[in-house]
């Protein structure tokens, strides 16, 4: 059964036309009825009866098959990433809380004119925490969380992709409140009209139909998309993401947070001013760049260990690598391989380790790229 709401735009129907080529009349009827709805008022009305009676059973089996395949996209355990683990992105977090937590916990608030968001797009340079934010949503909400990529939804069999998408939404409605997170949504709903084939057009149409909630009560299902290439999205899909939030590179305080957060409880001698200086030196780094930078820095003592020839003997039969020119009664010549796990003690991470690592570290996002995101934000987005 297909329902088309008053606001449904002709775009969907035009695309439906392509999809239902064999049944052109059905689409014509839909268009006429849509016109009537537009004239007569808000009430959604049934406009087409789907499926020929005889096939119902086999449809049922098929749908069960698809739903079983899709069970794997349900995230079974909370990823244990909290809002507080996320550096910066204050506004993005607020918007997500508004979209994700409130409607699930207090559905009563969202009645009448106050409607929860149905589609939220997180976009920005790679490695800025879009997936990470989605994981925080999964951790912090009580609903069902689906995490899908285009690989889960694109099938090589003709017609299966649409059915997968349809069943994904059906499953999400069954298990609502739900969040459907689609990473790299551009690869599923791109805008490459040249060379676009029927299959990808049908996938997009199904998406439009499902995101519009056509024929279904779609309260309690939120689609959360993430993309590094917002401009590659099909414009119709773009509009279905009612809220589009820019996830930019971390600013200086966020980079400082990331340095400390990534270092976690690794013993270190860094002082507040070291963190301050390092966070300034890493201008242009993404969150992912920052975590690589820290991982590299904390490996410095291990690298020194491998080439160390001198070790300082500590109480408890422990040895710590020292500079080659060190001397004294407690300095011994050793190769680290002659020590066992209990005997080895690494020096704490120091600011100097970071100084060495920063020389090798690089940001992965170009300035030109940032301009593209900023331009797209002025046109279609919202600052996060
Ligand atoms: P993308 O934006 O490409 O989806 P991810 O969310 O996968 O990026 O980020 C990659 C990694 O970088 C994360 O696993 C996380 O460790 C780190 N990271 C990026 N941005 C942030 C952030 N704002 N706060 C905390 N960690 C971050």
Taking only the tens place, the pLDDT of each residue in 132-174 is 999 898 888 888 889 988 777 776 666 778 888 888 888 888 8
Tell me how far apart the alpha carbons of residues 65 and 238 are, in angstroms, rounded to a whole number: 30
Of 11-25, 121-135, 198-212, the range with the lowest mean pLDDT is 11-25
pLDDT for the residue numbered 149: 83
**Residue 21 banded pLDDT, cuts 50, 70, 90:** low
Q: Which of 93, 121, 129 to mutate to test the pocket of ligand 1 (most atoms within 8 A of CB)?
A: 129
Which atom belonging to ligand 1 lies closest to the Cα atom of 288?
A: 12
Cβ of 89 below 6 Å from ligand 1: yes
Give the percent of the chain with pLDDT over 70. Answer: 78
Q: Over the stretch 165-184, which tens digit does the pLDDT of each residue have? A: 888 888 888 888 888 999 99
Atom of ligand 1 nearest to the CA of 261: 25
User: What is the Å distance from ligand 1's center to 102 Cα?
Assistant: 24
Average pLDDT over residues 241-246: 92
Average pLDDT of span 209-235: 82
C-beta 86 within 6 A of ligand 1: yes
CA 338, CA 174: separation in Å to the nearest integer?
A: 61
Composition of the chain by helix, strand, coil, percent to 5: 50, 15, 35
The pairing of strands 144-148 and 243-246 is unpaired
Instruction: Report the separation in Å between the CA atom of 127 and the middle of ligand 1, taken as the mean of its atom positions.
Output: 5
CA dihedral 245, 251, 253, 256 (to 10 degrees): 110
φ, ψ (nearest 5 deg) of residue 81: -115, 120
pLDDT, greater one: 141 or 254: 254
Ligand 1 center–CA 254 separation, angstroms = 12
Model pLDDT, residue 48? 32
CB-ligand 1 contact for 132 (6 Å cutoff): yes
Q: Tokens for 331?
A: 């300095």
Mean pLDDT, rounded, of the chain: 81
């Amino acid at each position: 059964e297909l329902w088309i709401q008053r606001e449904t735009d002709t775009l969907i129907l035009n695309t439906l036309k392509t999809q239902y080529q064999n049944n052109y009349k059905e689409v014509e009827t839909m268009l006429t009825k849509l016109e009537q709805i537009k004239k007569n008022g808000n009430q959604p009305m049934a406009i087409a009866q789907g499926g020929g009676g005889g096939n119902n059973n086999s449809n049922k089996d098929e749908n069960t098959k698809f739903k079983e395949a899709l069970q794997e996209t349900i995230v079974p355990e909370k990823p244990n990433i909290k809002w507080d683990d996320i550096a910066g992105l204050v506004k993005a977090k607020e918007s997500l809380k508004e979209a994700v937590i409130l409607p699930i916990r207090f559905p009563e608030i969202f009645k009448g004119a106050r409607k929860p968001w149905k589609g939220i797009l997180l976009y920005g340079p790679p490695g800025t925490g879009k997936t990470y934010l989605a994981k925080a949503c999964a951790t912090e909400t009580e609903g069902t969380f689906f995490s899908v990529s285009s690989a889960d939804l694109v099938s090589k069999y003709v017609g299966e992709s649409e059915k997968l998408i349809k069943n994904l939404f059906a499953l999400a409605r069954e298990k609502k409140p739900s969040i459907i997170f689609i990473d790299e949504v551009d690869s599923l709903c791109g805008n490459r009209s040249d060379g676009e084939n029927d299959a990808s057009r049908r996938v997009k149409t199904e998406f439009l139909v499902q995101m519009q909630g056509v024929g279904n009560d779609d309260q309690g299902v939120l689609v959360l998309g993430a993309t590094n290439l917002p401009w590659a999205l099909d414009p119709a899909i773009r509009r279905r993401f009612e809220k589009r939030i820019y996830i930019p590179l971390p600013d200086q305080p966020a980079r400082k947070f990331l340095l400390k957060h990534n270092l976690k409880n690794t013993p270190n001698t860094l002082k507040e001013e070291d963190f301050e200086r390092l966070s300034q030196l890493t201008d242009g780094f993404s969150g992912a760049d920052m975590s690589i930078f820290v991982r590299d820095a904390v490996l410095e003592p291990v690298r020194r260990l491998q080439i160390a020839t001198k070790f300082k003997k500590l109480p408890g039969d422990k040895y710590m690598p020292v500079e080659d020119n060190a001397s004294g009664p407690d300095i011994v010549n050793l190769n680290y391989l002659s020590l066992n796990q209990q005997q080895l003690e690494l020096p704490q991470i120091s600011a100097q380790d970071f100084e060495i690592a920063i020389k090798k570290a690089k940001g992965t996002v170009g300035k030109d790229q940032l301009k593209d995101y900023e331009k797209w934000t002025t046109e279609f987005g919202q600052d996060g």
